[in-house]
Chain A
Amino acid sequence: MGIEQFIDNEVKSNDVVLFMKGTPQAPMCGFSAQVIQILDYLGVPYKGLNVLESEDLRNGVKAYSNWPTIPQLYVKGEFVGGCDIVREMFQAGELQSLMKDSGMSVKTPA
């Protein structure tokens, strides 16, 4: 299976996928860590894929999304954005709406 097909399959078979440096438990980059914090705060399940484990994956996902940097967040197969966009959307409440509209329950602060 080619890398493009692998990525396509991952983002379409998981509701929320984060291409990141490191793992959700041990992010290796501040930008990746920020997105993890936001996803954990929302309490949505997601799959983290570590691009540091595979140069193929790292280059492949940049080509797939036409986006030059990591992290990259996908929801329901759609590219949502990198760290800046995710943070902006979170602060505006748009990320929460996107998750809800995609059929996921989002933890709201008490």
Chain B
Amino acid sequence: MPMNANDIEKLIKTRIPDAEVTIRDLAGDGDHYAATVIAESFRGKSRVQQHQLVYEALKGQMGGALHALALQTGIPEA
């Protein structure tokens, strides 16, 4: 069951309100996405912790409805 990009963005922003989310639909099939999530609240967290927050936001959709979400996270540049 594919998800659309807006739903993904909404889920992420609900959990990480300060997140700047960019989503690309890689194959145009609503099933393979690449997301960049930049948030000040990521500061001081490891990459694994940052990704875990995003996965948490997606509430178990990852690995299920969302097979392919290439993820890159980071903090805003000063």
Contact = CB atoms under 8 A, between A and B. Distances in A.
Interface residues of B, number: 11
A69 B47 contact: no
Contact of A88 (B47, B60, B62, B63): B47
A67 interface: yes
Given A67-B55, A68-B55, A85 B62 contact: no
B3 interface: no
B52 A66 contact: yes
Q: Is the interface of B mostly helix, strand, loop or mixed?
A: mixed
Contact of A85 (B51, B55, B60, B63): B51
B48 interface: yes
Contacts of B60: 68
Given A67-B55, A68-B60, A69-B62, A81 B71 contact: no
- Of B48, B55, B70, B72, most buried by chain A (CB within 10 Å of CB) is B48
Contacts of B51: 67, 81-82, 84-85
Interface of B: 47-48, 51-52, 55, 60, 62-63, 70-72
13 contacts: A62-B63, A67-B51, A67-B52, A68-B60, A68-B62, A81-B51, A82-B51, A83-B70, A84-B51, A84-B71, A85-B47, A85-B51, A88-B47
Q: 5 closest pairs, A vs B, by CB? A: A68-B63, A68-B62, A85-B47, A69-B63, A84-B71
